[in-house]
Structure formats: structure tokens, C-alpha cells
Amino acid sequence: MAAPENKLAFDDGWQYSPAPESTGHIKIDKRYELFIGGKFVAPEKGKYFDTINPATEERLSRVADASALDVDKAVKAARKAYGPWSRLKAAERGKYIYRIARIMQERSREFAVIESLDGGKPIRESRDVDIPLATAHFFYYAGWADKLEYAFPGRKVKPLGVAGQVIPWNFPMLMASWKIAPALACGNTVVLKPAETTPLTAMKLAEAIADAGLPPGVVNIVTGAGDTGAAVVTHPDVDKVAFTGSTSVGRVIQKALAGTNKKYTLELGGKAANIVFADAAIDQAVEGIVTGIFFNQGHVCCAGSRLLVQESVADEVVQKLKDRMETLIVGDPLDKNTDIGAINSASQLKTIEAYLAVGQEEGGTMYQSSCAVPDKGYWCRPTIFTDVSQSNRVVQEEIFGPVLAIQTFRTFDEAVSKANNTPYGLSGGIWTDKGAKIFKMTQSIRAGVVWANTFNKFDPASPFGGYKESGVGREGGLHGLGAYLKLEA
Ligand code: NAP
Ligand code: MG
């Protein structure tokens, strides 16, 4: 029997023809409008941009490019909705958020496929991590909506108003959920700006929000590029800014907000140390190193992008890591066997390749796995650098790709001092069989999260955020609620 026809057809004749078994009946529209005041509306200036599939370089859809005029419309819609939404009985607010969560759950397969198509991440990750975790954030914060007084005993809790939220491309649906769910639970309304290269799942989320019957204007989604983001965060009628992205843009935003009354949280870059002691279960640690740096192509703010390994086991760990890297499959994000998908964009690939050159110029020894990569699309083989020193740029700077810098240490104190010696402080990891060492290390590393004998594990109940240049404020858990509330005595 012939396989069923399964093509995503566009009016202008262009067709996307994915493997039938991997995409099923996923529908991607030819064009996406802005989601403002509960409706899908065309941008004022009539401009659209392409979003492409980084694994094929083919266009997936065209997406509205919001100007400052559209952002203003969205903020006005959010302001209008704010009064009734913030006065709504909290349990009713919770019901809406639960409804969004359930729709996300029902459509999770579709969302996962589109996330992988638009951003390049392996379907195994979008299916098993991104979308379930995004949905879990809506469920988690729905539960808090009518319990805010219990969350902050003895304090009066009030929403802040209109939240302007800007998110990056590495975890599009998850970042949207981190931002929208707590804002709504606390009674705020939202204007969200997705990243330019990954707008599609945010528009799918807009559909879910519309289907949930959320009152018009409570959530508005304006797609666009950096200028759109700047218009959101600097809009005078935005009360709270939540930004996740690079430290350089975070700095620009912090300057723009200085002297205003806007409350803000900034979730920025990282350069985490994953520290392996000689007494660790070495095979498990090697798996943790692989997860730490190669998960999501290393496009992870909290990636374990530096390995600090105790000298006596360094040769063994590096050899086992190289052997394991040889088994990693780089390629089609929609193939369930793929370990490392496509680099998110041509410009990110250029950045990564520039670092590969810099690392070698600085004297590092580069090793890449020998796997084949497709001809079309943006790819980077899993890469490690040895013979690097603390001052090297590949040790100090966030590469945001599948590139690991490896250093050794002899003593506990040397590991701590190397781990803390970057401008960042977002995350860290420790591998050892000694509980006392774990507790001492988690207190010594200046980072928002430190994983022990695991890496890149997330839960909506646990707070997340950085020290130093990794950011300001916390998201997730109870802390994440506090960032969307005025807490009065
Ligand atoms: P980015 O370049 O800073 O962009 C983030 C978002 O801000 C995008 O939507 C971007 O729009 C927008 N933007 C750009 N310029 C802006 C401006 N002047 N004002 C307001 N918004 C502006 O970061 P990215 O490359 O998308 O993401 C990677 C970075 O995010 C990494 O550094 C990573 O560590 C960080 N990150 C941090 C966390 C965390 O929780 N700490 C989580 C995930 C990612 P465009 O789409 O047009 O660029
Ligand atoms: Mg894309």
C-alpha cells in the first residue's frame, strides 16, 4: 500500500515534504499574524519575515514583523484587559491556566514537531523535554493562582500590571511558558516577543490560548526581531520586563530601564563548570558530560560548557568521552535516533566556527567526532578542546554550541577557583561519590543552580537564575511568583 500523501503545501506553490511517519498531520500555515487583543491581526506596516528550517534551509512560513505601532497596540490591549483580569476571582484565573495546559498536552506531538522543524532540536528532546516541561509550568502555576497568600504569608499580594517579555531561540516554547504562566497566575497581563528564528510554537501557543477562551488582551504575542523586543521593553506603559537572552542585550536593556519604575528580571548567559572528581562513577560522569554540553546542540544557557576533571582520571575520562562522542548521531532533527540536531541559524553557526578557530589559535587542541553531517543545513560536530588555560576565550566566553573546553585540577580548592573564574554564574555540576564534597562544592560555586551527579535537570518548582553577569532575579518556583507581584506588608 502506498504511504499516505503528507505535504505541507503553500499557496505560492512551495511545498515542504517531510517524512510521513515523523510529521503526521502537522499543519504549518503559510503566514502567521500577530496575536493582539484575542485576534490574529496583520502588522500595521504589512511586513513579514521568513522563518526557516535550519536543517534544510527551507522556508517553513512567513511571520509578521511587528513595529513599534503594533507593540503599542498590544500594550494597549494588555492594559485594557488588566483591570478585569486582575480582579477576576483567583480560582477562575487558575482554571484558564489549567485549560491552556490541557490544550498544550493534547497538542503536544504537533508542538514538538514544529519546535524541531523551526529550531533544529532533536525530536527526542522537544517531545520528551521541552513540550512536557513547558506544559508542566502551566499546570504548576495554575495551582498557585488561588494560593498566593499562602505563598507569601503575612504579606498583601498584588499583580504588577502589564508584563513585557522577550525570549530567546534555544527553548522557544519552554521560555514562553516560563514567562507567561507565572505572570497570569499572579494576575498580570502579557506582551510576549518570541525570537526571530523560532516564532512558530509561540504562534501555536497563541492558538491554544485563544482556544482556551482566555479573555482578549490578557496574552498578546508580537513576533519580530531585536527592534520589536526593544519596543516592548522600553514601552512606557509596561510595568515589568522579563528578558531571557544574551548578556550583551541584557546590558542594553538594563541601561534603558535605569531610572524607570519598571521591575525587571534578566536571565542571561552562562559558562558552567562540570566538575568530575576521581572518586566519581566515571561512566555516569561521562554521560553527564555529554548531556551537559551536547543537549540541544549546546544552545543552553546553563550548559556544562567547561569540564574540570581531576588530574588522576583525566586521561581516562577524556578517552571515554571521545569514544562516546563517536557514537553520537548528528543529523535530521525529526529522526528519533538523532542525538545532535541542526545549529539554530547560519549566524549562530558562524559564531561557533569563529570560536573553533580562536580556540586553535590560542593553542588549544581541538578534537571533533568523525560523524557525517548532511550537505544542506547548519551543522557542527561535537567538539572538545584540551590544552586550554583559564584565560583562553573558549574557557571564558559563552560559545552556545556543542563545544566543550576541558581543564584539569588537582585539589578541591583549585576546582572551586577555576569554576568561579569567569564573568558568569548561572549553573554548575559536580560528580563524586562523597556527599560531604557535594555540599561543600554547592556552597563554594557561585551559581544559581548546581547539579550533583546529574546535569540539565529542570522542574517548574525549582528556581532558576544567575549571579554576576548571568542575570538579575529568579524565575521558576515560588521565587518566580515573587517576580510578578508587589509584596506589601
Ligand atoms: P539575544 O540575542 O540576546 O536575544 C534574545 C531576545 O531578545 C530575542 O528575542 C531578540 O530578538 C531580542 N532582542 C535583541 N535585541 C534586543 C534589544 N535591544 N532589546 C530587546 N530585545 C532584544 O539572545 P539569543 O541569541 O536569542 O539567545 C541566546 C542567549 O540567551 C544566550 O546568551 C543564553 O545564555 C541566553 N539564555 C539565558 C537563559 C537563562 O535563563 N539565563 C535561558 C536561555 C537562554 P531577535 O530574535 O531579533 O534576536
Ligand atoms: Mg526557524
For residue 457, how far is its CA from the centre of ligand 1 (angstroms)?
A: 22
Is-contact 265 183, C-beta < 8 A? no
Alpha carbon 167 to its chain centroid, in Å, reads 8
Which ligand 1 atom is at minimum distance from the Cα of 426? 41
Assigned domain for 465 exists: no
Q: Are residues 423 and 365 in the same domain?
A: yes
Residue 193 lies in a domain: yes
Tell which one of 301, 347, 351 to mutate to probe ligand 1, the residue whose CB is within 8 A of the most ligand atoms.
301
- Provide the pLDDT for residue 258: 95
Residue 407 in any domain: the answer is yes
Nearest CA to ligand 1 atom 35: 245
Q: Phi, psi at residue 34, to the nearest 5°?
A: -85, 150
Q: What was the pLDDT predicted at 16?
A: 44
Q: Looking at the predicted structure, is the pLDDT value of residue 249 above 70?
A: yes
Ligand nearest to the CA of 172: 1
| Residue ranges near ligand 2 (ion) with Cβ within 5 Å | 51, 118, 197
In this structure, what CATH number is given to the domain that contains residue 105?
Answer: 3.40.605.10
Q: Is residue 390 part of a domain?
A: yes
Residue from 196, 244, 351 whose mutation best tests the ligand 1 pocket (most atoms within 8 A of CB): 244
- Per-residue pLDDT at 1: 36
Sign of torsion over alpha carbons 303, 386, 119, 269: positive
Q: 244 and 291, same structural domain?
A: no
Residue 395 lies in a domain: yes
Q: For 235-251, what is the mean pLDDT?
A: 98
Residue 217 CA neighbour count, 13 Å, CB half: 17
Three-state secondary-structure class, residue 427: strand
114 and 168 co-located in one domain: yes
Closest CA to 138 of 186, 107, 102: 102
Return the residue whose CA atom lies nearest to atom 13 of ligand 1: 226
Q: What span, in angstroms and rounded, lies between the C-alpha atoms of 189 and 400?
A: 32
pLDDT given for residue 23 in this prediction: 53
| pLDDT per residue as tens digits for the range 381-435 | 999 999 999 999 999 999 999 999 999 999 999 999 999 999 999 999 999 999 9
Each residue of 187-228: pLDDT tens digit? 999 999 999 999 999 999 999 999 999 999 999 999 999 999
CA distance 219 to 138: 14
Name the domain count of the chain.
Answer: 2
Contact 24, 31 (CB under 8 A): no
**pLDDT of res. 21:** 44
Ligand 1 mutation pick, 65, 166, 173, 271, max ligand atoms within 8 A of CB: 166
- Contact by Cβ (8 Å): 187, 84: no
Q: Whose CA is nearest to atom 4 of ligand 1?
A: 245
Residue nearest to atom 21 of ligand 1 (CA): 229
For ligand 1, atom 10, name the residue with the nearest CA: 226
Same domain, 357 and 329: yes
Please write the tens of the pLDDT for every residue from 73-122.
Answer: 999 999 999 999 999 999 999 999 999 999 999 999 999 999 999 999 99
Crossing angle of the two packed helices 108-119 and 200-211, in degrees rounded to 10: 160
Q: Are residues 183 and 220 in the same domain?
A: yes
pLDDT beyond 60 at 14? no
* Centre of ligand 2 from the C-alpha of residue 54, in Å: 6
User: How many A from CA of 201 to the centre of ligand 2?
Assistant: 10
Burial of 484 (0-12, 13-18, 19+ CB in 10 A): buried
Residues β-bridged to residue 238: none
pLDDT, mean of residues 289-311: 98
What pLDDT digit, counting tens, does each position of 308-356 carry?
A: 999 999 999 999 999 999 999 999 999 999 999 999 999 999 999 999 9
Q: Which atom of ligand 1 is nearest to the CA of 398?
A: 32
Q: What angle do CA 42, 44, 47 make, to 5 degrees?
A: 75
383 in a structural domain? yes
Please tell me the distance between residue 409's alpha carbon and the centre of ligand 1 in angstroms: 33
Q: Does the residue 446 lie in any domain?
A: yes
Residues flanking ligand 1, CB < 6 Å: 166-170, 193, 195-196, 225-226, 229-230, 233, 244-246, 249, 252-253, 267-270, 301, 398, 400, 426, 466, 471
> Cα separation of 333 and 354, whole Å?
24
Q: What is the CATH number of the domain that holds 322?
A: 3.40.309.10
Amino acid letter, residue 57: E
Predicted confidence (pLDDT) per residue in 356-370, tens digit: 999 999 999 999 999
Residue 9 pLDDT > 50, yes or no? Answer: no
CB 134 within 8 A of CB 177: yes
Query: Per the structure block, which three cell numbers stand in for 162?
Result: 502589564
440 occurs within a structural domain = yes
Contacts with 411 (C-beta within 8 Å, 6 or more apart), sequence order: none
Q: Ligand 1: which of 137, 170, 175 to mutate, judged by most atoms within 8 Å of the beta carbon? A: 170
Given a cut of 60, whether residue 180 has pLDDT beyond it is: yes
Alpha carbon 231 to its chain centroid, in Å, reads 21
pLDDT digits 0-9 by tens, 154-169: 999 999 999 999 999 9
* pLDDT value at residue 6: 40
Cα Rg, the chain, nearest whole Å: 22
For residues 437 and 451, give the distance between their C-alpha atoms in angstroms, rounded to a whole number: 13
Mean pLDDT of the chain: 95
pLDDT band at 489 (very low <50, low <70, confident <90, very high): confident
Residues 279 and 219 in one domain: no
With a cut of 80, say whether residue 266 has pLDDT above it. Answer: yes
What pLDDT is stored for residue 25 in this prediction? 67
Residue 476 banded pLDDT, cuts 50, 70, 90: very high
pLDDT of residue 22: 46
Domain co-membership, 200 together with 328: no
Residue 472 alpha carbon to ligand 2 centre in Å: 28
Task: Name the residues annotated as catalytic.
Answer: 267, 301
441 shares a domain with 354: yes
Strand partners, 307: 274, 406
193 and 316, same domain (yes or no): no
Residues 455 and 476 in one domain: no
Which atom of ligand 1 is the closest one to the Cα of 194? 9
Q: How far apart are CA 85 and CA 185, in angstroms?
A: 10
CB of 392 closer than 8 Å to CB of 423 = no
Where in the sequence is the domain holding 322, given as residue range(s)? 273-459
pLDDT at site 24:
56
For residues 202 and 347, membership in a common domain is answered with no
**364 and 219 housed in the same domain:** no
Residues in the chain: 489
